[in-house]
Structure 1
Amino acid sequence: MDGTLIRGSAAAVEISRQLGLERETGELERAFAARELTPPRFAALACELWSGLTEEHIAAAFDGAPWMEGIREVWADIRARGERCAVISLSPGFFVERLLDWGADTAHGSRWPAVPFRDPVDPAAILDAHAKVRIADELCAEYGLGRADCVAYGDSMSDAELFAAVPVSVAVNADHHVRDVAAHAYTGTDLRAAYELVR
């Protein structure tokens, strides 16, 4: 989702804008990208930083994010073909799951504490890159599919393991971690054009 469906941004960045904490969250994002923070540690620090987060902030962050064009149309076409669309993201589930209303069949994100944050982060509930493959495998089993039936879309190193697991992948506005290993690459603002590469 981050960087793939949201152009040049991420759920954490959009939430931080609503809270006026862009600089502080940016520091966490940079440390995470440099692998100085694990996903659970990032989540724990973000929960501390976002102590004032409300459902209203989340809704405003979601609605104001720079989404790719054509997301709903792509997912409607996928479903019309009798296929499935899953969103798997390391970002908080409370943000990712809002994409179900746009037509995703399933949406999986890290399970953060309920908002407003009162409970500690459960490290086991925070997803990592390997979890994307695990969840994809679980969904394949549920739908009676195999990895050979899958197409993966992504933009960064958290998608590299998934790209290696499936035969067809599309790097969307991607960095070198996945662009160099993807079957296809797209740079732009419209998911429909990326989808056409494999449709």
Structure 2
Amino acid sequence: MEIRGIVFFDIDGTLIPSMSSGSFLASRLGHQRQLDRAERRYATGELTNEQVSVIDAKGWRGVRTAVVDRWLDDLPLISGIETVVAWCRDKRVEPVLASLAWQPVSNSIARRHGFTPNGGPRVGVTDGAFDGTVAEHFDEYDKRDKALELAAARGVPPLRCCAVGDSRSDIPLFDALPSSLALNAGTVAQDAATDTLDTTDLIDMLPWLEAWIRTVG
């Protein structure tokens, strides 16, 4: 079936509204306070995503991958995801995750809710347990480039893609696409997006998606 378009969804702050997935996992891993401080410094530009990833990955050392996979089933996601994904499938639009969240997070959300996972940083794994190193770094420019690579592989030009996000990590992708929605976003992301929306239910973005899909044809 030919794809009409692609919607790229951010995870932290967008599909997970109350906290970052990293903070959620760090609370169980035992280093939440340290990570939250690092993420605040990233948000203000004091740290790079690579630096935050190194700090976070150390807290994963020795934890089995299966344990983290079970924890991820409890991620507090925004309401309405199933309805929006169903809309995408009905309109022949592919819902793709574009995020700086760790790959196990993207893979879990994709598996449970029907998104396509697409990159992200990786914690190193040895003998079925995380080893505390960053096996693959992934920043906001990698996020943009990976999204555009996937679109090209699908034969979908950027003109038929849009993005939904909330923070400065979304700006390079927003800048690369004609349509973007700053969802429950800070000022920096709002200024970079073509539209904004504050809501506790993802279903409320459907009118925006309907308007966007009419421009795709």
TM-score by length of 2: 0.83
Task: Specify the alignment match of 1:113 in structure 2.
Answer: 124
Moved beyond 4 Å, runs of 4+ = none
Q: What letter is aligned with 2:41?
A: A
* 1:74-153 equivalence runs, <5 A: 74-101=84-111, 102-114=113-125, 116-118=129-131, 120-122=133-135, 125-153=136-164
Of the three residues 191, 197, 216, the one matched with 1:180 is: 191
CA contact (8 A) 1:14 1:61 kept: no
Per-residue deviation, residues 110-162 of structure 1 (Å, max 9, x unmatched): 1221262226324xx21111112211211111111111101100000000111
CA distance in 1, matches of 2:59, 2:177: 37
Q: What letter is aligned with 2:15?
A: L
Of the three residues 142, 167, 170, the one matched with 1:159 is: 170
Gaps (5+ residues) in structure 1? none
Of the three residues 50, 68, 71, the one matched with 1:40 is: 50
Q: What letter is aligned with 1:121?
A: V
Task: Specify the alignment match of 1:70 in structure 2.
Answer: 80
User: Percent of counterpart pairs with the same letter?
Assistant: 29
- Residue 61 of structure 1, CA deviation: 4.0
Per-residue deviation, residues 65-119 of structure 1 (Å, max 9, x unmatched): 3211111221122112112111011111011111222111333221221262226
Q: What letter is aligned with 1:44?
A: V
CA distance in 1, matches of 2:26, 2:137: 19
Task: Specify the alignment match of 1:51 in structure 2.
Answer: 61
**Residues 10/158 of structure 1: CA separation in 2 closer, same or farther (3 Å cut):** same
CA distance in 2, matches of 1:167, 1:155: 17
Q: Name the structure with the higher strand share.
A: 2
Of the three residues 9, 13, 34, the one matched with 2:23 is: 13
Gaps (5+ residues) in structure 2? 1-10, 211-217
CA contact (8 A) 2:57 2:132 kept: no
- Residue 41 of structure 1, CA deviation: 2.1
- Residue 34 of structure 1, CA deviation: 2.8
- Residue 57 of structure 1, CA deviation: 4.6
| Structure with greater contact order relative to length (CA < 8 Å, sep ≥ 6) | 2
Deviates more, 1:16-25 or 1:76-85: 16-25
- Residue 30 of structure 1, CA deviation: 1.9
**How well do the aligned residues superpose, as a CA RMSD in angstroms?**
1.9
CA distance in 2, matches of 1:159, 1:138: 16
